[in-house]
Amino acid sequence: AGVAIAEVPKLEQKDKYKVGFAQTESNNPWRIAQTNSMKAEAEKLGFQLVYTDAAGSAAKQVADVNSMIAQGVDVIFLAPREEKPLIPAVMAAKKAGIPVILLDRSVDPSLAKAGEDYLTFIGSNFVEEGKRVAEWLAKNANGKSKIIELEGTTGSSPANDRKKGFDEAIKAAGGFEIVASQTGDFARDKGRQVAEALLQAHPDADVIYAHNDEMAIGAIAALEAAGKVPGKDVLVLSIDGGKEAVQAVVDGKIAAVVECNPRFGPKAFETMMRYAKGEKIDPMIINDDKFYDASNAAAELANAY
Ligand code: GYE
């Protein structure tokens, strides 16, 4: 075996940086809020931002990172679409001497390590998010027990971990059954279509757990089209906490949402500059997530992205 360099490339201290941000897709309000937050912070600091949008393709995202390397950026912020396919991009940046900071999604921990191959992961604890949804359900199910799970993008860290956290906690709670679990790719219309098919196959399902707001909103459309009343016949649960979903909680259509905050800009750039100063950076920087249900949604609506 060759000699692996167990160190993240250094970052020089400078007044102005050229920074890459490799976004994964822009098909939902969460992604747009994240991009806007990154752009606003770069502008505030007077840094040049090289922004790319992989449009839902891991292969394009790898190419985007390679192009940033060729353009000589100082640092790369990467929101890896899936855990495994983005490993070559992380390794290529390391080899080129460019530190990588993972934003909001992670890569396979057996293939790339924080503090060695990339600097750190900044984002939510997705296992915990799924667990919080399950624990809320266990307390507030009112006899409902047959769950349809709409998974996020296959192979992405939030889909893997939101499933793990929820499934384990719901099993531990006892009395529930996940009757179907299928991907809706974190997308509204895919979520609607998958929910429609699964509701036909499992007409007795009375809970829908969606790994993000977009699929939950799609599922609400599927329920209404099937003549069911969301919030009454079927409890809908979600993660993200964007305005539209928090409004749906106010309206009684979504029962509860765990927030996943997309406003990464300030923390992302602050972390990068602390690293340049020579500070030690934690391998994981975990965001605090709020929780919305009927008890606080109206009051929190104005704060939602
Ligand atoms: O929940 C979803 C987005 O990676 C945490 O990706 C993020 C997720 C978020 O497209 O809406």
CA pair distance 96, 75, nearest whole angstrom: 11
What is the reported pLDDT for 1? 43
- How far is ligand 1, taken at its centre, from the CA of residue 158, in Å? 7
Q: Is 30 in the pocket of ligand 1 (CB under 6 A)?
A: yes
| Segments of the chain with pLDDT less than 70 | 1-5
Using the atom order of ligand 1, give the atom closest to the CA of residue 79: 4
CA pair distance 220, 235, nearest whole angstrom: 10
Q: Is 64 in the pocket of ligand 1 (CB under 6 A)?
A: no
Q: Is 262 in the pocket of ligand 1 (CB under 6 A)?
A: no
41 within 8 A of 262, measured Cβ to Cβ: no
- How far is ligand 1, taken at its centre, from the CA of residue 143, in Å? 30
Q: Is 81 in the pocket of ligand 1 (CB under 6 A)?
A: no
204 within 8 A of 146, measured Cβ to Cβ: yes
Q: What is the ipTM of this complex?
A: 0.97
What is the reported pLDDT for 3? 54
Q: Is 259 in the pocket of ligand 1 (CB under 6 A)?
A: no
pTM of the complete model:
0.96
pLDDT digits (tens, 9 = 90+) for 234-283: 999 999 999 999 999 999 999 999 999 999 999 999 999 999 999 999 99
Q: Positive or negative CA dihedral for 5, 11, 17, 19?
A: positive
pLDDT digits (tens, 9 = 90+) for 71-86: 999 999 999 999 999 9
- How far is ligand 1, taken at its centre, from the CA of residue 277, in Å? 31
Please name which of 11, 31, 267, 257 lies closest in space to residue 136, comparing C-alpha atoms.
Answer: 257
Using the atom order of ligand 1, give the atom closest to the CA of residue 30: 11
* Structure tokens, 253: 């259509």
Percent of the residues in the chain that have a pLDDT greater than 70, as a whole number? 98
CA pair distance 184, 27, nearest whole angstrom: 13
CB count in 10 Å sphere of residue 96 = 16
CA pair distance 246, 152, nearest whole angstrom: 19
